[in-house]
Structure 1
Amino acid sequence: MNTVGPTETQRKTISGVVGGALSRLQHDYLSSDNHASQARARGVLATLRRGAGTAPEQDLVTWQQTLELVVPDLPEQFQGKGNDPSPSERAVYDALTLYALHMQSQQKPMHDRSRSFARAAGILVAKRDSESIKPRFDALLMVKNPNTRRHHARGLITLMRSESIGFDYGRFAEDLYRLDSPRRNSVLLAWGRDFANGRFRQDQTTVNDSAQTTN
């Protein structure tokens, strides 16, 4: 499973900043070697989890925790200048808080750079064989309101958590940012392709996980 951090060329992108922050946080949370770091990571995740599916304005403590994780690396052009969070800051907030929800009670990494959010959603449909999941993903594709988008994403990620299906949260943050930009259609096209591949061509990691479950 590919969970390593971003390369140097990726580091100053939204994807790289979020991916790097979560790789460090995830390592500390899952590590049993340093109990102090693990305890701190648990506290950070608990704070972030409170904001999952909400806007930054609704939980200022979680908003502050988000900034502490990313601001040292987040380029100034992505940081807000006025009284409201910038679109990129909102995307970062959504990705970090939803990751915290996803990671709850997990014993393996849910920030997994080997697959995208849409591919993970496709794998979820294949594993659950439920008629309700595909409409949820379709609704996420259609919606333009950020609050409604958070609601749909939270629902899908909660189901992914129950199946221990992770995805690349750095790429997810970048996608969320682009969904509110002129590049929206390129994100949706990629999501459609990745969803189909996840549903009908499950990756080797998923195949191996399924085999281990049945053995």
Structure 2
Amino acid sequence: MTTSDISTSAQAGGAPPDGARRSRPLGEAGRLVDWRIGGPRGLQGRYCSKNRKEALARAQVAALRKGASRSPGELPEIWELTRVEVPDGAGDAPTWEEIAVHTAMTLYAVHQQSRTEPMFRPSVGLGSAAHDLVGRDEENPSARARFNALVTSTTVAELRHHLRGFVSLLRARGIALDHAMLADDIVGFQRPGGAKKVRLNWARQYYSLPAESQPATAPASDADSTTAPTQEN
């Protein structure tokens, strides 16, 4: 899957609102998801449009939802929204980035289904969203148990399984999430020893502790997280 450069202003690509900034720069997978959901013609803006005339956006969200339980590349109708640039010599198995972008995009569709308010909200990490769902005094123990199962996943397949159920809980309560940050978390989870670092980030978000200065996955360049990623013509 080849890509070509496009240009945009520094404010494009789903930048956090009201001057807020993410606690860490996005990596390559995160920037792709950020652009495709929150960019100037991103999926969220078209799906949540007040005039509700974006039939294509609704069809794309429906197609992406079908991919939530499928592997990357299985559904041709969502390739355009889940593609990533694959390095030469890549094997037959999906790359870390392919798994992460596919998972984040399809989970956004699960999250946004039938809701009129935006469910993608930059700077809201998974731990922060979990805290909002569980409650300050942990009055929702079943949600906490679901989150604990998610956090203690040992494989990316197990993580994806638990994320689908957890995002459905967030949707039911109208709690938003930064799916771009989640994409980077999924990449980081797959790196050797990376799961421990990702869990620490989620724990800090849950308890509102200072975030790490370094991302769970290193960005492809020093570009700001709001820089538009490469895309196909």
TM-score (norm 1): 0.76
- Unaligned 5+ segments in structure 2 are 1-11, 17-24, 210-233
Which structure has more helix as a fraction of its residues?
A: 1
Residue of structure 1 aligned with 2:80, choices 64, 68, 78: 68
Q: For residues 80 and 171 of structure 1, do their structure 2 counterparts lie closer, same or farther at Cα, with a shift above 3 Å needed?
A: farther
- Structure 2 residue aligned with 1:31: 49
- Structure 2 residue aligned with 1:22: 37
Q: For residues 168 and 149 of structure 1, do their structure 2 counterparts lie closer, same or farther at Cα, with a shift above 3 Å needed?
A: same
Correspondence 1:166 to 2:176: yes
TM-score (norm 2): 0.71
Q: Aligned letter for 1:149?
A: L
Following superposition, the deviation at residue 33 of structure 1 comes to 4.7
Cα distance in 2 between the residues matched to 1:126 and 1:34: 33
Following superposition, the deviation at residue 95 of structure 1 comes to 0.6
Higher relative contact order (CA 8 A, sep 6+): 2
Residue of structure 2 aligned with 1:46, choices 52, 62, 71: 62
Cα distance in 2 between the residues matched to 1:169 and 1:148: 18
Cα distance in 1 between the residues matched to 2:179 and 2:185: 9
Contact residue 53 and residue 147 of structure 1 kept, 8 A: no
- Unaligned 5+ segments in structure 1 are 199-215
SS of alignment partner, residue 162 of structure 2: helix
Contact residue 156 and residue 189 of structure 2 kept, 8 A: no
Q: Aligned letter for 1:28?
A: R
Cα distance in 1 between the residues matched to 2:149 and 2:27: 31
Correspondence 1:184 to 2:177: no
Cα distance in 2 between the residues matched to 1:52 and 1:21: 17
Over residues 86-140 of structure 1, what are the superposed CA-to-partner deviations in whole Å (9 max), with x where a residue is unaligned?
1110111111111100000111111100311111011100178221111211111
Cα distance in 2 between the residues matched to 1:174 and 1:122: 20
Q: Aligned letter for 2:79?
A: L
Following superposition, the deviation at residue 56 of structure 1 comes to 2.8
Contact residue 80 and residue 86 of structure 1 kept, 8 A: no
Cα distance in 2 between the residues matched to 1:70 and 1:48: 9
- Structure 2 residue aligned with 1:87: 96
Contact residue 178 and residue 184 of structure 1 kept, 8 A: yes
- Structure 2 residue aligned with 1:205: none
Cα distance in 2 between the residues matched to 1:45 and 1:80: 32
- Structure 1 residue aligned with 2:117: 108
- Report % sequence identity: 32
